[in-house]
Amino acid sequence: MPAVCAQAATSACSDFRFGESANPIAADRAEQARLDYLALGDWHGCKQIESNVWYSGTHEPERFVNNNPGYALLVEIDAPGASAQVTQLETACHRWFLLEQTLAVATDIDHLQQKLQALPDHSVCRLKISGSIILADEQRLLCLWQEQHARLRVLQYDADNLQLQPTDDDITALQAEGANGMEELLRQQQQELDFQQQRLQQLERRANALVLLKQQLQDQRDQLTRKLQAPLQKHLNHYLNLLFPGAEIEVNDQLIPTGFRRNGEQGNLVDLSFGTREQMGLIARLAYADLLSEAGQPTLIILVDSLVHSDRTRLEQMQRILFDAQNRHQILLFSCHPHNWQNLGCKTFDIEQLSAATTRQ
């Protein structure tokens, strides 16, 4: 029982907008190939080409085109060579409708209401309205749209080409209503304007106060930064000159060392080697500790395996810096390389031996 499925368009659909394909086939292809049935794709609607050649289309409509979508085909062939019995089975849950209505008189709205009422509840509808209506019919149209918008699945409403043309009675009523309510409306608008002006003045006062507060806080911060910057710079340069005679460290407004000068050259700390940055970091810690000490605060500096990236010459220079700092601070240094610190001249302890002695006690 030969049957074929093809994704192509036949000449019978060549004049349809969505029936064009890069793989056209002849309408009598089934007969030429002696097929019992030929199922075609590429056309989104259900369409019969021959008794045994059909487009099933999409199972759900997906655009506002009246090409009969939303079906599946049940194809029954009793025997090879027998005629195909094709039954359309509706599968669509939502039907798509494109309605256009021109309004000129009141009865046109009644006709539009009948059209919308005839649509199933799950319909997707695009409604285009043109023409002209009076004020009373505008209210009727609005009520109709609200009613159908709540009932239908989707209702798209396009009234760009609809004009409102009030009658002489409508204009007279509007003028009378406007004259009677104009004074009250003017009073309400003046009250609203006065309130908004008062609100504006309050917000301006708050904004000015915040600007002043921000400036005062910034001035205090700058003053405090300058107060701390000078002594910090002094302590940093004290230690730095023990390492690099004649060098200076630059400190930013956040009291963080960022640059250095040496022998007339200027550079950034981030450009230094890892070992040199480690040494600069230790110098900064000692300088901060000096500030605390001058303020009468106790200081304790704990170093764990510091300066492991320094060579022997630089390590000896940093040891002189630590020796200088120990005159002002208590320093605890933990290291897995005790031979690097034998020349400090301070008392050393072996933690493992201390732990063992404590355990025996």
pLDDT digits (tens, 9 = 90+) for 284-302: 899 889 988 888 899 999 9
Mean pLDDT of each 10-residue bin along the chain, 361 residues long: 51 43 70 84 84 85 77 89 87 84 89 91 89 85 90 88 81 66 72 91 93 92 81 85 82 78 79 84 89 89 87 86 88 84 76 74 63
* Residue 155 located in a structural domain: yes
State how far the Cα of 258 lies from the Cα of 274, in Å rounded to an integer.
15
For CA atoms 271, 273, 274, 276, give the dihedral sign: negative
Residues 16 and 82 in one domain: yes
Domain assignment of residue 160, given as a range:
96-165
* Residue 340 located in a structural domain: no
249 neighbors 272 (Cβ within 8 angstroms) = no
Where a domain ends, among 58, 90, 122?
90
Confidence (pLDDT) at 11:
47
Extended strands (E) in 217-335: 248-251, 257-262, 265-268, 300-304, 330-334
* Residue 206 located in a structural domain: no
* Residue 329 located in a structural domain: no
Residues 6+ apart with CB under 8 A from 279: 243, 307, 310, 314, 318
Residues 161 and 112 in one domain: yes
Number of domains in the chain: 2
Six-digit token string for 83: 């005629």
Confidence (pLDDT) at 181:
62
What does the angle CA 22 – CA 90 – CA 45 come to, to the nearest 5 degrees?
20
Residues 71 and 15 in one domain: yes
* Residue 127 located in a structural domain: yes
* Residue 140 located in a structural domain: yes
Residues 70 and 147 in one domain: no
- The 8-class DSSP code of residue 25 comes to B
Residue type for position 92: A
* Residue 130 located in a structural domain: yes
* Residue 170 located in a structural domain: no
Confidence (pLDDT) at 308:
83
Residues 26 and 66 in one domain: yes
Q: Is 263 left (phi over 0), alpha (psi -120 to 50) or beta?
A: left
Q: Which of 83, 97, 79 is nearest to 54 (CA)?
A: 83
State how far the Cα of 287 lies from the Cα of 228, in Å rounded to an integer.
11
Alpha-carbon separation of residue 94 from 69, 122, 150, 313 (angstroms): 11, 5, 16, 85
With H, G, I as helix, E, B as strand and everything else as coil, classify residue 305: coil
Residues 77 and 104 in one domain: no
Where a domain ends, among 146, 165, 184?
165
| H or E element in which residue 141 lies | helix 135-151
